[in-house]
């Protein structure tokens, strides 16, 4: 039980650190807060609600991992390095793909809700 408590505290500190240092994380977290009640409004089936909320959580997860990679890369070297730049670009691409997935899921759910599908 002690391990779970410590792990939860570490996780909370990570979320707080991302909140303080990353505007994109804050924007995505605000989007999640809006998305949760909206998912219950537009989706009648639980699995669809889970999908709508899940893609938002996935985006936050990928953003946290990207932020961790960027912070670690900056810690390793502040100098311009093409390899580090590529690693950062890959992390950014991962965030972009998670946002694309979230957008597709939400557009389809909204289209269905408004009778367009």
Q: Which residues are catalytically annotated?
A: 63
Whether residue 34 contacts residue 56, with contact meaning beta carbons closer than 8 Å, is answered with no
Residue 115 has a CB neighbour count (10 Å cut-off) of 6
Token pair of 113, please? 């809700």
């Amino acid at each position: 039980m002690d391990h779970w408590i410590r792990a939860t505290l570490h996780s909370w500190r990570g979320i707080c650190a991302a909140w303080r240092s990353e505007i994109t994380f804050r924007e995505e977290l605000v989007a999640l807060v809006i998305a949760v009640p909206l998912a219950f409004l537009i989706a009648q089936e639980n699995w669809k609600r889970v999908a709508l909320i899940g893609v938002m959580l996935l985006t936050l997860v990928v953003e946290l991992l990207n932020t961790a990679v960027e912070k670690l890369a900056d810690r390793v070297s502040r100098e311009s390095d093409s390899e580090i730049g590529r690693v950062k670009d890959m992390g950014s691409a991962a965030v972009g793909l998670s946002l694309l997935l979230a957008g597709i899921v939400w557009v389809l759910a909204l289209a269905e809700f408004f009778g367009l599908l």
